[in-house]
Structure 1
Amino acid sequence: MQSIETFSTTHLIGDRLQLEHLAQFCIMHQDPQVMATLGGVRSHEQSKIIQILSFENAYLRFDWSTIYKNSRS
């Protein structure tokens, strides 16, 4: 069985979590507004540890990173 690596809709693009997403997660984890309902702001080191553990298990848990198409650079 072949696994899905990416998907898209009219407005979203979804990719399996990869280490290249780490910088985006670190920025998100340091934004007080974003993290207000997610346990509070995290340090870069906390984000890195959490995301590396998630990335290592991404293929087992099918974790995805999704973004709006118009925000992809």
Structure 2
Amino acid sequence: MVQKQSNQENELPGGLSKPAQRALTGAGLLNLEDIANIREDELKKLHGIGPHAVETLRQALQEKGLSFAKK
């Protein structure tokens, strides 16, 4: 039986497409703190992550005082 993750475990910003959400959770990126630990170019390599998802994540990171990892 598959269990749904609680909102505490999966805290991705709203506005992401389902493919983007699946790409992030499949890579173990469940919240903004996880996403802040990878570089933007690494994120773009995930199947399902397009320009809209990158911009949505960038804005959500900035709102929390975070950013993508530096190169």
Normalised TM-score (structure 1): 0.31
Higher strand share: 1
Query: 1 or 2 for the larger relative contact order (CA 8 Å, sep ≥6)?
Result: 1
Higher helix share: 1
Normalised TM-score (structure 2): 0.32
